[in-house]
Amino acid sequence: MSNKDRENESNLILVSGASGFIGSRVVIKLLATRKHKIRCMTRKPDALHNYFGAASSLLDIVHADVQNYSDLLRVMKGVDIAFYLVHSMEGSSKEWKKFAERDRTAAKNFARAATACGVKRIIYLGGLTCAREPDLSEHMRSRAEVGEILKTSTAEVTIFRAAIILGQGGGSFQMLQYLVERLPIMVCPKWVLTKSQPIAVDDVIEYLVRSIYVNETKKKTFDIGGPQVLTYKDMMKLYSSILGKSLRIIIIPFLTPRLSSYWVDLITPVRASLARPLIDSLKHESIATDDSICNIIPLKLKNFDNSIKTALNEQKRKETVKKKEHKSFTLNRQILIISLTVLALIGFSNYLIEQGNKIFEPIWLILIGLWYFGITLSLYFIRNGARLGSMIAGVIGWITLAFWVISNFYTISGNSVITSDPDYPRTIRNLIGAIVSVLVIASAHNVFHKLRILYL
């Protein structure tokens, strides 16, 4: 390391987005070097204190919002190097496009504050794409624009453009992981055939942090990617083979990004508002066209298999902690599974007792078959942790409740709508079925919403 590079060792470093997927890892890496004062910028300081535990005493954790210029002026005082690791892909699915406007405002505020406070360097992580500007998705256009805005500051800006980042907490990786784990058959749009150069999150962090000590990275833009070029379909197949699971992929050309994002929202922890721009971006090839960073910061890059295994090990550690913190979710999930099973048994007894009635006509048999298929499908997805399971359960609960309420209509009107010759045992059975249906509806509602919290 040259003398000039050593000058960076005692700097005060600001990590914006310190509680995020990349930001939290950058902080951990910087702490390990024991060379810097570290200021962590976040909108959730309490959560960050809990995350780092005892190590938080070594950090200067401050509350600030990149949308607020005065916050940034306060936070950037005395800062020499700032990591810009903020992304605004959030909010409702109906307003997903507004993230670009938020990103633009945040970048302008950050650049102005960096200039006003005399920040020497800014290190930014953007997205890698081979598409030309007019063809870019809104997401990738926004990531490129942020980099250009940051360059308007007086700081020396280093930009890293990464392809799909493989690691727990990354949106693109979570889509891959949970789709493969939860679905034996996948109907996919043609974007799964787009080529990419996925990179392990640990390698991304190495590039970001090491660039502090390498003056050749100043005022430069670098493409970073892993050692393999793969399509999203290739990645799904490879991931399924790591799990020892068979996976069939059917590609159809008319599945839109909007429909895909809603499907991802129901199967994975990734919200539709985040999935939509990510899916739009996956339409573009993301392959590194400039490998100069490999000579400036030489790394032994992880291949896809090693990246996935590292991510799975990290997941196991997190799940051990989360299982202790989400007892209410586990209870609601168990109630939902039991109540769905009881509902199926009550329904079965109902059909045995109703022999000889119109309920065994072809139309009723079809409806009964669909009802049991829905329960089976719901149980499958509930056991695999997909919100789609609780949504199906809720629909089944409401339909069944309506059926048994109508079936018991004769207790008021004296006339049976569904069956003939209603009697006391049938009335009791229908009432019990209605009560179980209400239990299914309530527990399905709780599981549907608690699953989102569980994977945050």
Q: pLDDT per residue over 330-352, tens digit each?
A: 888 899 999 999 988 887 776 66
Average pLDDT over residues 395-413: 75
d(CA 227, CA 261): 29
Sequence letter at residue 90? E
The pLDDT of residue 132? 59
Instruction: Give pTM, 2 decimals.
Output: 0.79
- With cut-offs at 50, 70 and 90, classify the pLDDT of residue 230: very high
Average pLDDT over residues 300-305: 94
Q: Which residue has the tokens 């990591």?
A: 83
Residue 1 has pLDDT above 50, yes or no: no
Bridge-based pairing of strands 230-231 and 195-196 is antiparallel
Of the candidates 174, 390, 379, 383, the one whose C-alpha atom is nearest the C-alpha of residue 266 is 390
Q: What are the extents of the domains in the chain?
A: 3-324, 326-454
The pLDDT of residue 95? 53
The pLDDT of residue 9? 54
Residue 415 has pLDDT above 90, yes or no: no
d(CA 25, CA 166): 13
Q: Which residues partner with 124 through β-bridges? A: 84, 159
d(CA 237, CA 179): 11
Of the candidates 372, 442, 439, 435, the one whose C-alpha atom is nearest the C-alpha of residue 405 is 435
d(CA 408, CA 428): 9
- With cut-offs at 50, 70 and 90, classify the pLDDT of residue 85: very high
Residue-averaged pLDDT of the chain: 82
- With cut-offs at 50, 70 and 90, classify the pLDDT of residue 158: very high
The pLDDT of residue 424? 65
The pLDDT of residue 391? 92
Query: Could you read off the pLDDT of 165-178 as tens digits, one per residue?
Result: 999 888 888 888 88
Positive or negative CA dihedral for 81, 85, 91, 94?
Answer: positive
Work out the burial of residue 2: count CB atoms within 10 Å of its CB; fewer than 13 is exposed, 13-18 middle, 19 or more buried. Answer: exposed
The pLDDT of residue 404? 75
d(CA 274, CA 44): 20
- The token duo for 365 is 């048999």
- The token duo for 249 is 């992929």
The pLDDT of residue 453? 56
Q: How many degrees, rounded to 5, is the angle at CA 172 between CA 168 and CA 177?
A: 60
Positive or negative CA dihedral for 100, 269, 454, 125?
Answer: negative
d(CA 440, CA 344): 11
H or E stretch at 254: none
Q: Which of 10-24, 356-370, 432-446 has the lowest mean pLDDT?
A: 356-370
Which DSSP category does 130 fall into?
A: -
Cα dihedral 362/365/367/369 (nearest 10) = -140
DSSP per-residue codes, 47-88: HHHHHHGGGGGGEEEEE--TT-HHHHHHHTTT-SEEEE----
Q: Which of 41-50, 159-168, 276-285, 410-419 has the lowest mean pLDDT?
A: 410-419
Query: Could you read off the pLDDT of 121-155 as tens digits, one per residue?
Result: 999 999 887 655 556 677 778 888 899 999 999 99
Q: Which residues partner with 289 through β-bridges? A: none
Q: Which of 106-120, 339-353, 398-412 has the lowest mean pLDDT?
A: 398-412
Q: Which residue has the tokens 């009335």?
A: 427
- For residue 428, what are the contacts with CB-CB under 8 A and spacing of at least 6? none
More confident residue, 129 or 180: 180
Average pLDDT over residues 25-51: 90
- With cut-offs at 50, 70 and 90, classify the pLDDT of residue 36: confident
- At residue 219, φ and ψ (nearest 5 deg) are 60, 35
Average pLDDT over residues 283-311: 90
The pLDDT of residue 318? 63
The pLDDT of residue 439? 92
**Domain 3-324 is classified in which CATH homologous superfamily?**
NAD(P)-binding Rossmann-like Domain (3.40.50.720)
The pLDDT of residue 378? 92
Query: Could you read off the pLDDT of 352-378 as tens digits, one per residue?
Result: 665 545 556 777 778 888 989 999 999
Identify the top-confidence range among 295-304, 314-323, 363-372.
295-304
Of the candidates 291, 388, 24, the one whose C-alpha atom is nearest the C-alpha of residue 170 is 24
